[in-house]
Chains A and B, each alone.
Chain A
Amino acid sequence: MAIRSLLGAFRKRSFVTRAVSCYRSLSTLILAEHERGVLKASSLSAVEAAKCLGENNSISLLLAGTGPSLQEAAAHAASCHPSISQVLLAESDKFAYPLAEAWAKLVHVVQQKGSYSHIIAGSGSFGKNILPRAAAILDVSPITDVTEINGSNLFVRPIYAGNALSTVRYTGSAPCMLTIRSTSFPLGATPAPSVSNAASVDKVDLSTLSEDDAIGKSKYISLSSQDTDRPDLGNARIVVTGGRALKSAENFKLIEKLAEKLGAAVGATRAAVDAGFVPNELQVGQTGKIVAPELYMAFGVSGAIQHIAGMRDSKVIVAVNKDADAPIFQVADYGLVGDLFEIIPELLEKLPEKK
Chain B
Amino acid sequence: MGHLGWTDLWCVLIRPPNKASRLCTETASMRIMVAIKRVIDYAVKIRVKPDKSGVETSNVKMSMNPFCEIALEEALRIKESGRASEVVAVSVGPAQCVDTLRTGLAMGADRAIHVEFPGTLYPLSIAKILKALVDAEKPGLLLLGKQAIDDDCNQTGQMIAGLLKWPQGTFASKVVLDEENKVATVDREVDGGLETLCLDLPAVITTDLRLNQPRYASLPNIMKAKSKVIKKLTPQDLNIEIRSDLEVVQVTDPPKRKAGVILSSVDELIDKLKNEARVL
Contact = CB atoms under 8 A, between A and B. Distances in A.
B250 interface: yes
B155 to A, nearest CB: 4
Interface in A58-88: none
Given A164-B254, A168-B246, A280 B123 contact: no
Contacts of A154: 249
A142 B262 contact: no
B180 interface: no
Interface in A75-115: 99-101, 104
A315 B172 CA distance: 32
A126 B156 CA distance: 16
A135 B170 contact: no
B189 A280 contact: yes
A320 to B, nearest CB: 8
Nearest to B196: A221
Interface stretch (B7-15, B133-141, B267-275): B267-275
Contact of A224 (B154, B194, B197, B199): B194
B124 A136 contact: yes
B269 A318 contact: yes
With most chain B CB atoms within 10 A of its CB, the pick from A129, A172, A312 is A129
Contacts of A305: 42-43, 45
Given A281-B189, A347-B270, A137 B153 contact: no
A142 B155 contact: yes
Tell me what chain A mostly uses at the interface: helix, strand, loop, or mixed: mixed
A222 B153 CA distance: 27
Contact of A132 (B123, B208, B266): B123
Interface in A208-248: 213-214, 217-226, 234, 238
A104 B272 contact: no
Interface string B128-163: 000000000000000000110111111110111111
23 contacts: A125-B190, A128-B158, A129-B170, A139-B124, A160-B46, A167-B252, A168-B249, A172-B245, A214-B161, A214-B167, A217-B200, A218-B200, A225-B192, A234-B191, A305-B43, A305-B45, A316-B277, A316-B279, A318-B273, A334-B260, A346-B266, A350-B267, A350-B270
Interface of B: 40, 42-43, 45-46, 48, 55, 122-124, 127, 146-147, 149-156, 158-163, 165-171, 173, 185, 188-200, 203, 208-210, 243-254, 257-258, 260-263, 265-267, 269-270, 272-274, 277, 279-280
Interface of A: 12, 99-101, 104, 124-126, 128-137, 139-145, 154, 157-173, 213-214, 217-226, 234, 238, 262, 270, 273-274, 279-281, 286-287, 289, 294-295, 305-306, 312, 315-318, 324, 329, 331-337, 343, 346-347, 350-352
